[in-house]
Structure 1
């Protein structure tokens, strides 16, 4: 039986967008705007990993998912071991 190779998911950790331990909207949006979404996430499986120590507003996840959707093949939310599918590009 041939071995199937499944590409690993890229983890996008929302805590990478924190400034001094909190999510500030202005710096968050600046960092999001600086990412080359097509280059980094083209046809990728991406997990948006949250933070259990700091409350993260829902809009932050939506902004990331909206930027990823045109480029990523699949978007998940949560921890890699129990990720929840958020978006799957139609075939």
Structure 2
């Protein structure tokens, strides 16, 4: 008699959601205002404007760009706005902060169009381990988007999950 192996995970109806799908697709880089400071301390408007006009903006073409200043200097708001003004027409996206903050912003933007209703009454596992580090914000966002619709939300892999939420008839269980 031959043993029959049953894949219980496949039969469970669990849907896996991989947050890596919302990660920015393309190169991520930084525009650092530090390079435009006079003596590494202050930003002179006239010099800054002139330097921006001669900057090779093509190196930011179709990239995700984080605008920041890594020097310990007081930077006026308009300086970031000027950089964004030059970058916006050529970059895929522009965000204030470091590269990690940019990734968080892009994932949040990408999740904004996520339709939780498509997961109505489904058992959903939000994939926990992957090739790319996903910011915590994404896990919070996806939970908020799924909770009104999903039958259950779990974290991890279909074969080993941590329960997050389960809808029950009448009252809620956590």
Shared topology, TM-score over 0.5? yes
**TM-score w.r.t. structure 2 length?**
0.43
**TM-score w.r.t. structure 1 length?**
0.78
CA distance in 1, matches of 2:122, 2:133: 27
Secondary structure, counterpart of 1:54 in structure 2: coil
Count of aligned residue pairs for this structure pair: 85
CA distance in 2, matches of 1:64, 1:36: 10
Shift of residue 85, structure 1, vs aligned partner: 0.8
Is residue 112 of structure 2 the alignment partner of residue 33 of structure 1?
yes
Which has the higher Rg, Structure 1 or Structure 2? 2
CA distance in 2, matches of 1:16, 1:53: 11
- The gaps in structure 1 that reach 5 residues or longer are 1-5
Secondary structure, counterpart of 1:19 in structure 2: coil
- Contact 2:104 / 2:135 at 8 angstroms: preserved in 1? no
Secondary structure, counterpart of 1:31 in structure 2: helix
CA distance in 1, matches of 2:112, 2:132: 23
Shift of residue 54, structure 1, vs aligned partner: 3.0
- The gaps in structure 2 that reach 5 residues or longer are 1-10, 29-99, 170-174
What CA RMSD, in Å, does the superposition of the two structures yield over aligned residues? 2.2
Shift of residue 69, structure 1, vs aligned partner: 0.3
Shift of residue 7, structure 1, vs aligned partner: 5.0
CA displacement 1:14-71 (0-9 Å, x = unmatched): 1111114887122212221112211x11111000002343332322211111110000
**55-64 or 65-74: which moved more?**
55-64
Is residue 70 of structure 2 the alignment partner of residue 65 of structure 1?
no
CA distance in 1, matches of 2:138, 2:109: 13
Q: Which has the higher contact order (CA 8 A, sep 6+)?
A: 1
CA distance in 2, matches of 1:20, 1:35: 17
Secondary structure, counterpart of 1:32 in structure 2: helix
Aligned partner of 2:16 in structure 1 is 11
